[in-house]
Amino acid sequence: MKSVLAISEGGPDAAMAFRLAARIATDFGAIVDGVHVPHGRPDDINIAAQAMPFLEGQDRNRLNGRLRNTEGAWRDHVAAVAGATLRTGWDTTLDMLVMMGRSADLLVLGRPGVDPENAAPATVHAAIHDCARPVMVAPPDPHARRLSSIVVAWNGSAQAARAVEYALPFLSRANKVTILIAGAAPDAVSAPLLVRHLGRHGIAATVDTVDPGTVSGRARGRALLGYVGDCNADLLVMGAYGRGQFSSFLGLGGATGKVISSCPVPVLMAH
């Protein structure tokens, strides 16, 4: 874990992402590369101003304000990390973000939905679906504890398997690792094989189950959140499921959307 890409759009997400990225960099001796993804660009404002001139000043102030949010959060949380870099150019497109993300070990984002100006950002969607890297979502008020108690939400899927593999650097440092299975028997989702695999990496994991009470995705999400809170976990690892459903949060399944919008601890995901 040597390259951490911390992504900001200049709203409340900036401090969330940068604070968590700095913690991870300190733990692993990594370098943080920050990137500010603008909500618009000066050229876009000029085009819009031709139709509605009175909006030009408001839009420029909004964009500049969000950039200042990013720069302030960077100074507060990341600037002191050795080797840290920050990209703030207006030419930072989603395609550029994806290229940067694919050359990082981990992407860190602030929780989607906290920013009232950007309830379902394309930036977050690109990070989760297109960068082919693990994404860690930071909660608004994370605790300062080390990530020593980790819950892995396991259902035997390809997404869950990718998430576990990406999480190995964190799992190997944890004092407690719990494989949590919602609404299924451990043998039915090959949990014993996962425990054996982790054991070969020197990770002693235990298996627990939870009954969500219903088969809906949001119910499974609520069950995961309840378990994480009850066991005082520091990190949740899970697959990111779904893509493109119009009614789903960020094009994700109900369980994933519920968890990342409400989890009190960081969530490491892989699609």
Tens of pLDDT along 133-153? 999 999 988 777 889 999 999
User: Is residue 109 within 8 Å of residue 91, measured between CB atoms?
Assistant: no
Alpha-carbon distance of 92 to 96, in angstroms, equals: 6
Is the pLDDT assigned to residue 73 strictly greater than 60? Answer: yes
The kind and range of the H/E element at 153 are strand 149-153
pLDDT at 50 over 80: no
Is the pLDDT at 246 greater than 50? The verdict is no
Residue 53's pLDDT is what? 53
- Look over the chain and give the mean of its residue pLDDT values, rounded to a whole number: 85
State yes or no: pLDDT of 31 exceeds 90.
yes
Q: What is the mean pLDDT of residues 22-30?
A: 96
Q: pLDDT tens digits for 169-227?
A: 999 999 999 999 988 899 999 999 999 999 999 999 999 998 876 656 667 778 888 89
Give the distance, in angstroms, between the CA of residue 256 and the centroid of all CA atoms in the same chain.
11
User: pLDDT-derived band of residue 159, with 50, 70 and 90 as boundaries?
Assistant: very high
In this predicted structure, what is the pLDDT of residue 222?
A: 80
At 74-97, the pLDDT tens digits run 999 999 999 999 999 888 899 999
Q: What is the pLDDT of residue 144?
A: 77
Percentage of the chain beyond pLDDT 70 is: 81
Spatial distance between the Cα atoms of 152 and 268, rounded to a whole number of angstroms:
9
Please give the Cα distance from 202 to 172 (Å, whole number): 7
Q: How far apart are CA 77 and CA 244, in angstroms?
A: 34
- 79: nearest Cα among 14, 124, 137: 14
Mean pLDDT over 154-174 rounds to: 96
Tell me the residue type at 84. A
pTM for this entry: 0.87
- Three-state SS for 25-44 is HHHHCCEEEEEECCCCCHHH
The SS3 of residue 208 is strand
The pLDDT assigned to 232 comes to 93
Distance from C-alpha of 14 to C-alpha of 70, rounded to nearest angstrom: 6
Amino acid in the structure at residue 54: F
pLDDT for residue 247: 35
The CA dihedral of 10, 12, 13, 18, to the nearest 10 degrees, is 90
- Confidence class of residue 56 from pLDDT cuts 50, 70 and 90? low
pLDDT at position 249 is: 46
Q: Which percentage of the chain shows pLDDT scores above 90?
A: 59
- Please state, in angstroms and rounded to a whole number, the distance separating the CA atoms of residues 267 and 145: 15
Q: Which of 102, 127, 155, 72 is nearest to 260 (CA)?
A: 127
How far is residue 233's CA from residue 139's CA, in Å, rounded to a whole number? 13
